[in-house]
Amino acid sequence: MAWFEREFVAVPEDRKNQLVYKWPDVNIRRYTRAMVNADQLALFVKSGQVVGAMGPGRHRIDADELPVLGALVDTVTGGNYYRAELYFVSTREFPGIRFGGRLADILDPVSEQVVTLRVFGEFALTVRDPAELITALAGTADLTDQDRVQSWCADLLLKSMKIAVTQGISRGDWQVLGLSAQLQPIESAVLRQTNTALYEYGLRIPRLGNFDISLAPEDADRLKRLAKDVKYIRLTGDFQRYAAGELALGASQGFAHGHHHGAEGGFLGAALSLSAIGQHVGGPSPAPPPATAQETGQTACAACQSANPAGAKFCMNCGARLTPQPRHCPSCGAESSPNAKFCGDCGTPMPGG
């Protein structure tokens, strides 16, 4: 009897950081001492079912203490063995597991642009129910492969985050450019989604570590430029004035870098743009009064007196027609100039001539 009690089973020192450790021998000698650490639970499994469990402490493996082990087997060795699979399952939390990757291509409701979201971070993993973990995954996955189990959970977490974030943005709960300020509600939604899927496997993700959701760099630059454009268009009042200002700014920057071609036109455009912006916001302009439309070769609108480019048919400010509408002969229908007194084709007097 004393010789049997000298044998023991326990998790080796180099395997104590594993989520699950399986004792390599399914024949367990009678009266063997099993040592279960404080953060572990030992489970006996037969035919895919958990038939016995041992909590932290030192235990003697015997049918008197564990009747579920059944009868002794292996009569050749004197009938001193039980046949069962023995798993040691860790009940502590495993933090610092990395996850991340591409979330989705999503339509930003604000800018109506398709952008790519990415996420990188960490999460913690723990066993919710050791018996469910063994029975649900022991036959389909190698539970002793720690990296594989964690990678599977990371993929499931990424999938849940993709669903939660996409739904939140589509409903208008979160904005694409403001996701960093919504990490707490995002974490709650993702954990709820993930743990619902992990429940049947006896696992649980209690919390996320540091994580961040960001845009692809080219998408972030594009949305920032678009937001700036929208802001300046609202400031100047219309797109044409904003476009003229942007054109003038580009020309002046090119001149500053030594690109002298077309510099005079750039400065002229800048002056016209800044003058228009100053009139819109109501600020007084210290510059001298602008030249008349005739002096600059432009066309003045008869309705609002705004200057328009030469050749324009309608006013860029109020939409009124700039050129007189041609008249047609009441007899032959031929087109005549606005001031003509007789038709040039048939000589019929023009109305009002």
Q: Write the pLDDT tens digit of every residue in 228-240.
A: 666 555 655 554 5
pLDDT at 275: 46
CA distances from 316 to 16, 234, 280, 296, 319 (A): 78, 17, 15, 16, 6
What pLDDT tens digit does each residue of the chain (353 aa) get?
A: 444 444 789 999 988 889 999 999 888 888 888 999 999 999 998 888 888 888 999 988 886 667 767 655 544 445 677 788 899 999 999 999 999 988 878 777 766 778 888 899 999 999 999 999 998 877 667 777 888 899 999 999 999 999 888 888 888 888 877 788 888 999 999 999 999 999 999 999 999 988 888 887 777 777 767 766 665 556 555 545 555 555 555 555 555 555 544 444 444 444 444 444 444 444 454 555 555 555 556 778 877 878 878 777 778 788 777 776 667 788 887 777 777 777 777 777 877 65
pLDDT at 278: 45
pLDDT at 342: 78
pLDDT at 146: 86
Q: How many residues does the chain have?
A: 353
Helix (H), strand (E), coil (C) string for the chain: CHHHHCCEECCCHHHCCCCEEECCCCEEECCCEEEECCCEEEEEEECCEEEEEECCEEEECCCCCCHHHCCCECHHHCCCEEECEEEEEECCCEEEEEEEEEEEEEECCCCCCEEEEEEEEEEEEEECCHHHHHHHHCCCCCCCCHHHHHHHHHHHHHHHHHHHHHHHHHHCCCCHHHHHHHHHHHHHHHHHHHHHHHHHHCEECCCEEEEEEEECHHHHHHHHHHHHHHHHHHHHCCHHHHHHHHHHHHHHHHHHCCCCCCHHHHHHHHHHHHHHHHHHHCCCCCCCCCCCCCCCCCEECCCCCCEECCCCCECCCCCCECCCCCEECCCCCCEECCCCCECCCCCCECCCC
Rounded Cα distance, 194 and 196, in Å: 5
pLDDT at 3: 42
pLDDT at 276: 47
DSSP-assigned letter for residue 24: S
Model pTM?
A: 0.58
Q: Both tokens of residue 300?
A: 């003045």
